[in-house]
Amino acid sequence: MKKKKIEEMVHDENLGMTLIVKTVARMMIAMILLFGFYIIIYGHLTPGGGFAGGVILAIAYTLMMLAFSRKLALKKLNNFWASIWDNLGMLAFIVLGFIGLNFGYFMFNFIWHGTPFHLVSAGFIPLANIAIGVKVGAALYAIFIGLSIYGRIITTEEETK
C-alpha cells in the first residue's frame, strides 16, 4: 500500500519539479547514496570516513526533498525516523567506546587489525565510521527537515494583489 502511494506521488505533476528534474534526480540519488556508503566503508583506507560519508548521505535525501517535494521525502524518511537513526548512530559509537573500556581504556581498538591496506585492516575503526556516518547523515537531514518546515505565510491582502 505504501509503495503504491509513493509511486503515485512520484508521478504527480503537482508535486515537486518537472519530469526531467525528477528523472535525473532519481538516478543521481542512487549514485549519491552508493558513493556515500563507499566513503563510509572505505574511510579508514582513503580520505573520507564517517563524517564525509554522512554528509553525502544527507545530500541524497535533501536532493529527494528538493526534486520530488517535501511531502514525498517525509514519506520515505520522516523526522521521527531521522531522529531515531541519529540517536542509534550515537549510541553505537558510545557502545564501541565502552566495549574498548573492557579491554583497557575507552575507544580501545579491540578487534583484530588484519592485513594492512585491505578492507578488514583497521579493527573497530570501520564500525566507528559507520556509526558516525549514520549519525551525521540523519542529523543533517533532520536539520534540513527543520529548516523546510517554515514557509512564508501569505496574507489575504497579498493574495488579492
Q: How do residues 53-68 score in pLDDT, each as one tens digit?
A: 999 999 999 999 889 8
pTM of the model: 0.80
What is the distance between the alpha carbons of residues 153 and 147, in angstroms, rounded to a whole number?
A: 15
What is the distance between the alpha carbons of residues 53 and 63, in angstroms, rounded to a whole number?
A: 15
| Residue 44 main-chain phi, psi, to 5 deg | -85, -10
How far lies 103's CA from each of 93, 108, 148, in Å? 16, 7, 45
Q: Which residue has the higher pLDDT, 45 or 96?
A: 96
What single-letter DSSP state applies at residue 106?
Answer: T
pLDDT of residue 157: 61
b vs e for 10-23, b when ≥16 Cβ sit within 10 Å of the residue's Cβ? eeeeeebeeeeebe
pLDDT of residue 159: 55
